[in-house]
Amino acid sequence: MDERLIFAVNPGGTSTKIGLFRETEALFEENVHHDPEALASLGSTFDQLETRRSLVLRALEEKGYSPSLLTAVVGRGGTFKPLSSGTYRVTERLLNDIREGETLQADHPSNLGAPIAWAVAQAEGIPAYFVDPVCVDEMIEEARLSGHPLLPRVSLSHALNIRMVAYKAAEALKRPLSQLNMVVMHLGSGVSVNALRQGLMIDTNNANDGGPFSSTRTGGLPVTGLIKLCYSGRYTAGEMKNMFLKQGGLLAYLGEEHLLNIREKVLSGDSRADLTLRAMAYQMAKEAGAMAAALAGKVDALVITGGMANNDWLCGVLKEYLSFIAPVMVFPGEAELEALVRGVLRVLDGVEEEREYL
């Protein structure tokens, strides 16, 4: 069998990450930067499609690779309507839904991943895919109730990386993911802690709405105090949202969001930095314990991943809290391009069936 070349595309706010893989081997990865003013002048996010497509193709060709060599193209999945986990073929129906915007849960650059993949693939007559979008929703019904019917819990998470490391953990345990229960903690700028039962993501904390605080997000907040703050007249709705999602967490407490820098402060004797880091780890551990309870304590592995999983101190603290639940496995980083490619290979190799977007 000839080795397959898969081109992966992951759009962000002012850049698009791309990578070319021969099977699971990365031939190159690059971050294609975009002019923010040029993007803003295009209007809607969807209107950036042609600009981003042409730039990523130019980057591919500058690396010496022709699109005609590709086997498939895969893009990051966005905030589409709720979907099951898996690898989906990009279709006209999906493109229309993204263009019209009626089924999108948020306007985010990740929504362009599938359209860019489609545009590149269509010209070469090859398939385009998206894998485990942030809108993966396999929550059990009990998990959807929040405490008030006007505010249902919504499943939005770092599903792409979470599912990839779950597969890696299953490989290490030499058992199919469909036969395993896991708690998977994605520790990034937002923290997603998930309960996977027989491979399905039955519960998760939406990092925008709750869970532990992180580098810049507040996580869950005291409701009565939040109400008072909202009606204090001191902040607009936009300022409140920015405070909770971009200026909360470590940044709000310490004026610093980078874990490594804060650990240096701790080692220099900064007691407030020490308390804040220990509190963050404590909240992460509590959320993991809650997800273990969602699995009735039947947990085969507790998996830690994401950017903050590169920090030995944090992983060590979490192991102290959580190793009584199950063996703890650590897969540092957020290898999203690799996760996209692995999702396509699972379909091409017949490990899982291609999903249909309906």
> Are 285 and 315 spatial neighbours (Cβ–Cβ below 8 Å)?
no
Q: Pick the closest to residue 114 from 103, 99, 100, 124 (CA basis).
A: 99
Domains delineated in the chain: 5-138+337-348 (3.30.420.40), 159-333 (3.30.420.40)
- Is residue 35 predicted with pLDDT exceeding 90? no
pLDDT of residue 27: 97
Residues 202-216, buried b or exposed e (16+ Cβ, 10 A)? bbbbebbbbbbbbbb
311 falls in which pLDDT band (50, 70, 90)? Answer: very high
pLDDT score, position 43: 78
Q: Give the residue-averaged pLDDT of 221-248.
A: 96
Comparing 83-87, 108-112, 316-320, the range with the smallest average pLDDT is 108-112
- Read off φ and ψ for residue 108, nearest 5 degrees: -140, 145
The mean pLDDT value for 118-138 works out to 96
Q: Is the pLDDT of residue 1 over 70?
A: no
| Mean pLDDT on 107-123 | 93
Q: Quick one: how far is CA 171 from the chain centroid?
A: 21
d(CA 9, CA 341): 10
Contacts for 101 with CB less than 8 Å, ≥ 6 apart: 46, 107
* Predicted TM-score (pTM) of this structure: 0.91
Kindly tell me if the per-residue pLDDT of 39 is higher than 90.
no
Residue 137 pLDDT > 80: yes
How far apart (Å, rounded) are the C-alpha atoms in residues 83 and 338?
21
